[in-house]
Amino acid sequence: MASTIDDHSADDHTCSLACFDAAVSECRSDLSEHPDASPERALLLKALAFSLRRRFGQSQQLVDLDEAADLCRQSLTMLPSDHPFCPSLLSQWGFTLHARFHHSRNGIDINEALVHHREALELLPDGHPQQLVVLQNIVDTLVCEHRPPLEAFELDEAVALSRTIVELSPSNKDSHHHLGQLLLRRFQDSRQQKDFDEAVGVHRTLEILCLDDSEGFDILNTVAATLSDIFDNTGEHDTRDLDNAIILLQEAMESLLPTDPDRDDAAHELATALSSRFHYSGNDSFLDEAIQLQEGILSATPHPPGLRSKFRFFAAQEWAEFADANGHESALEAYGIAIGFLPRIAMLGLDLSSRQHVLTAVVDGVARDATACAIREGNFERAVEFIEEGRAIFWSQALQLRAPLDHLRSEAPELVEQLQVISNRLEQESLRGVSKAAPMPHDAARAVEEQSRELLRLNDQWLACLEKVRTIKGCESFLLPKKYSDLRLAAVHGPVVILNATKSRRDALILRTPETDVLHVPLVLLTRDAEQQLVKMRSLLSGAYPRSRGDRGMRFKVPAVDPETIIKRGLAILWTTVVEPIIQALDLKKSASPPRIWWCPSGSFNSFPIHAAGIYDHCEGQCVSDYVISSYIPTLTTLLGRSPPNVDSFKMLIVIQPHSKNHEPIPYATEELRRIEKIVDNDVLVRYGIQDAPALVSDVLSAIPTATILHFACHGVQVSAEPARQGYQAVKSNPLNSALVLEDGPLKLTEIMELSLKNKSLVFLSACQTAAGDETLPDESMHLSATMLFAGFQGVVGTLWSIDDRDGPEVAEAFYRHLFSSSQPSQGSQVVPNTAEAARALHLAVRKLREKEPSFMRWVPFIHLGF
């Protein structure tokens, strides 16, 4: 076993996942023969960590990096500090943390990686053959992507270390390239001419070193990158440097076989250089060639297989953005390809934390940009398809696993059986979160590892089955994204308004009826300044107030400005810039019995209380509720394929939790139950949270499938995807851990997701923040209310932020009085409520509360979602 520090393998892309699995298994087998702490076991742990980190390049499973990092730590505890393997182990630990940082964006990882690389350097004597490698590791970690901007002293250190590297290896081309890059970076910050002059000198030296070189692509690409950087980092923009870079990159392309895994990288670099050349010349030939290269990347067989979808997605995204920015006709095609890759890179074969990372750090915003591009082109139907296909990826995938298969049974019964088995197993496995938050025993790690492998295999089998189904006549579009011809049916009961916001524009697309064309309303009054005012209002609403229903008297952290004034101003801006133009476009009038409307917001619009927009300065003001009854939907599909709820055996489940550990008491939850009991027949009520029936998670989960209507009066907890901090440690958070707080603990979102409920009517979540989305996942609707829609309920009453405990009984009583007053007899003498009236019932209940308690914080939080 060699003690090399630079353990990157250039051949990783040629190895299959099975090859890496075999290597990991072999390492584990060797470890089982050395159970006690010893130098031999330490070296075996190092080998296993190395194999796990290499496998991660193929598997993209964070569990591999988590275990690899822990193994490095364990191994070092078994070796004396002067052991010759310690520098290698420290660097390997640093490599592993660096790799994990690129996926987690956890700053602790990259800072710790730097510490370990420095420790490795301290252990090496001057002149050690690995000293250059460790010096470069420190430089790479200092300047790595996604790290916070470098302080001046850090950049100075990186430059000084790179100079040392060049001095120690004057013929090393990579060392010259890295130094040149850093000098240009410092020149860009400091504008010191000496840095630029030195960078140019380094580049010229590199050109000389590369003359008649036989190393091919790597050398040509290095010189071309340097030339491009010199061009980009100077005010003069001498296009000769860029032209030289293009020539070298073209030579690099010619030096590679069509099957060479580096060819796509060369094509990408050349496309970038050509894009810059077009920008400064306006010559369309550069633009066309750049786009042709991106198209070629997407038509080629990508490498390595484990990363192909992500690589191709980025290629399509860059093509789309460049074509869009320059008005090229291929922009819509490129966006369509990019969006088509979204389910593949956030695939069900990844654990929850990995999928969460992809949805936050990789794909967010692509669908909105694509929609804006289609709107700009006047292709409104394609815009609707884009926004539907490119958001709520998590829920769309989950719903696919529950797709009805009865219509296929006569055509392919064996395939249907196979699909049902795979989908059931895949749904169970895909809801798990396997990435380890703490070290685990090797037996447990092996079990988790096999779980990850099984999930990937299931995902491959699922995709293969779908391809088979699509070969059957009449099933060619099975579980493919819906076309506008299907999506337009979402407007069968009333207009649906899609709200889209990007950096360049803000628009509304209105589906008025299934028969009419999409109506486009450009929201030109919603300027960046106006949007900032709305963001300020949203921040105040979500952050300045208590997050607990039990708190009394809404308290602000910073009372410098009257909060009601800020909210009033924000709601007025929302009215004049967003809602009023839509109301006018629909030619709606004030009404005592207004029609319904469905809001389908995306991006930043998810954070704004559209339903409460209005002018509240005087008695004759106007607001949304004067014209329409508002409901929200996460996607258009929410309104499609609805079946009438089964009311033959109507039951209403009420769960209250007045007292919860670590939460403020909510005594009015009991009053809420008492008022509902006065309205609803005792024979159809099932209660939990009372003396004889505590609200235990297991009991409530068992009762939910039997209920037609659910009502929860308890605390709600919304968990963000942002890393939470415990002391000095950053801990991965998961919005799927959002929960309703019951007697013996949280009823988590994931537990609700596992329920498969068909044709259920309504859920009333009289809890805090049950419809508050995660701002890091704006288009994924990761909140409790959306979960209830996914689980099978057709309508949900939720809250955008915390509510006052006293308001729960008031709103619930008014809501159910209207709902049951519009009820009709079912079988026998049983009376069931007309849940299609839920949105109107909430509209009236909130209006009554508003008349009694005009404070915005008291009535604005309540919203209706779904049908």
Mean pLDDT of 669-688: 95
Give the pLDDT of residue 513.
96
Residues 604, 672, single domain; the answer is: no
Dihedral (CA of 9, 15, 17, 22) sign: negative
In terms of Cβ atoms closer than 10 Å to its own Cβ (0-12, 13-18, 19+), residue 692 is exposed
- Supply 395's token pair: 């829920």
Give the pLDDT of residue 545.
46
What is the H or E stretch that residue 534 is in?
helix 528-543
Q: Residue 853 falls within a domain, yes or no? A: yes
Residue 727 has pLDDT above 60, yes or no: no
Residues 664, 679, single domain; the answer is: yes
Residue 355 has pLDDT above 90, yes or no: no
Residue 282 has pLDDT above 70, yes or no: yes
| Residues 531, 595 contacting (CB under 8 angstroms) | no
Give the pLDDT of residue 446.
59
Which of 148-152, 490-494, 728-732 comes out lowest in average pLDDT? 728-732
Give the pLDDT of residue 389.
93
Give the pLDDT of residue 233.
59
Residue 505 has pLDDT above 50, yes or no: yes
Residue 543 has pLDDT above 60, yes or no: no
Give the pLDDT of residue 9.
47
Residues 626, 763, single domain; the answer is: no
Residues 504, 574, single domain; the answer is: yes
- Supply 278's token pair: 């077009």
Give the pLDDT of residue 808.
93
Give the pLDDT of residue 244.
78
Q: Residue 205 falls within a domain, yes or no? A: no
Which of 612, 638, 664 lies at the terminal end of a domain, its last residue? 638
Q: Residue 130 falls within a domain, yes or no? A: no
The alpha carbon of 859 is separated from its chain's Cα centroid by a whole number of angstroms, namely 30
Residue 440 has pLDDT above 70, yes or no: no
Give the pLDDT of residue 487.
97
Residue 63 has pLDDT above 50, yes or no: yes
Give the pLDDT of residue 16.
67
Residue 214 has pLDDT above 70, yes or no: no
Confidence of residue 436 (pLDDT cuts 50, 70, 90): very low
CB count within 10 Å of CB 651 equals 16
Give the pLDDT of residue 550.
56
Residue 34 has pLDDT above 60, yes or no: yes
Q: Residue 31 falls within a domain, yes or no? A: no
- Kindly give, in sequence order, each residue whose CB lies less than 8 Å from that of residue 174, ignoring residues fewer than 6 positions away: 222
Residues 590, 710, single domain; the answer is: no
Q: Residue 182 falls within a domain, yes or no? A: no
Tens-digit pLDDT profile for residues 730-764:
344 566 778 899 999 999 888 888 887 876 889 99
Mean pLDDT of 345-363: 70
Residue 132 has φ and ψ, to the nearest 5°, of -60, -40
Give the pLDDT of residue 688.
97
Give the pLDDT of residue 553.
39
Residue 854 has pLDDT above 50, yes or no: yes
Residues 718, 835, single domain; the answer is: yes
DSSP category for residue 507: E
Q: Residue 23 falls within a domain, yes or no? A: no
Residue 86 has φ and ψ, to the nearest 5°, of -60, -45
Give the pLDDT of residue 221.
66
Averaged pLDDT score across all residues of the chain: 82
Q: Residue 517 falls within a domain, yes or no? A: yes
Residues 625, 511, single domain; the answer is: yes
Residue 13 has pLDDT above 60, yes or no: no
End-to-end CA distance of the chain: 64
Give the pLDDT of residue 690.
94
Mean pLDDT of 143-159: 82
Residue 433 has pLDDT above 50, yes or no: yes
Calpha distance 399→791 (Å, rounded): 9
| Residues 110, 118 contacting (CB under 8 angstroms) | no
DSSP category for residue 775: T
State the CATH number of the domain containing residue 802.
3.40.50.1460
Q: Residue 577 falls within a domain, yes or no? A: yes
Mean pLDDT of 23-43: 84
Residues 736, 860, single domain; the answer is: yes
How many CA atoms are closer than 13 Å to the CA of 862, on its beta-carbon side?
A: 32
Confidence of residue 22 (pLDDT cuts 50, 70, 90): confident
- Kindly give, in sequence order, each residue whose CB lies less than 8 Å from that of residue 456, ignoring residues fewer than 6 positions away: 17, 59, 349
| Residues 369, 602 contacting (CB under 8 angstroms) | no
Residue 701 has pLDDT above 80, yes or no: yes
Tens-digit pLDDT profile for residues 791-824:
888 999 999 888 888 999 999 999 999 999 876 6
Q: What is the dihedral of CA 137, 224, 191, 158, to 10 degrees?
A: 10
Give the pLDDT of residue 559.
46
Of residues 35, 46, 42, 51, the one with CA closest to residue 77: 42
Residue 301 has pLDDT above 60, yes or no: no
Residues 511, 607, single domain; the answer is: yes
Give the pLDDT of residue 782.
72
Residues 696, 789, single domain; the answer is: yes
Residue 148 has pLDDT above 90, yes or no: no
Give the pLDDT of residue 378.
96
Residues 522, 543, single domain; the answer is: yes
Residues 700, 786, single domain; the answer is: yes
| Residues 294, 318 contacting (CB under 8 angstroms) | yes
Of residues 529, 790, 741, the one with CA closest to residue 638: 790
| Residues 602, 499 contacting (CB under 8 angstroms) | yes
Total domains in the chain come to 3
Tens-digit pLDDT profile for residues 529-542:
898 888 888 877 76
Confidence of residue 844 (pLDDT cuts 50, 70, 90): very high
Mean pLDDT of 307-336: 86
Calpha distance 488→598 (Å, rounded): 13
Residue 196 has pLDDT above 80, yes or no: no
Residue 351 has pLDDT above 90, yes or no: no
Confidence of residue 523 (pLDDT cuts 50, 70, 90): very high
Percent of the chain with pLDDT over 90: 34
Tens-digit pLDDT profile for residues 605-626:
988 999 999 999 876 779 999 9
Calpha distance 264→268 (Å, rounded): 6
Confidence of residue 268 (pLDDT cuts 50, 70, 90): confident
Strands 629-632 and 729-731, sheet pairing: unpaired
Range of the domain at 432: 406-469
Confidence of residue 586 (pLDDT cuts 50, 70, 90): very high
Percent of the chain with pLDDT over 70: 82
Output 586 or 403, whichever has higher pLDDT: 586
Residue 656 has pLDDT above 50, yes or no: yes
> What is the identity of the amino acid at 556?
F
In terms of Cβ atoms closer than 10 Å to its own Cβ (0-12, 13-18, 19+), residue 154 is middle
Q: Residue 737, SS3? A: helix
Mean pLDDT of 427-455: 60
Q: Residue 437, SS3? A: coil
Give the pLDDT of residue 556.
41
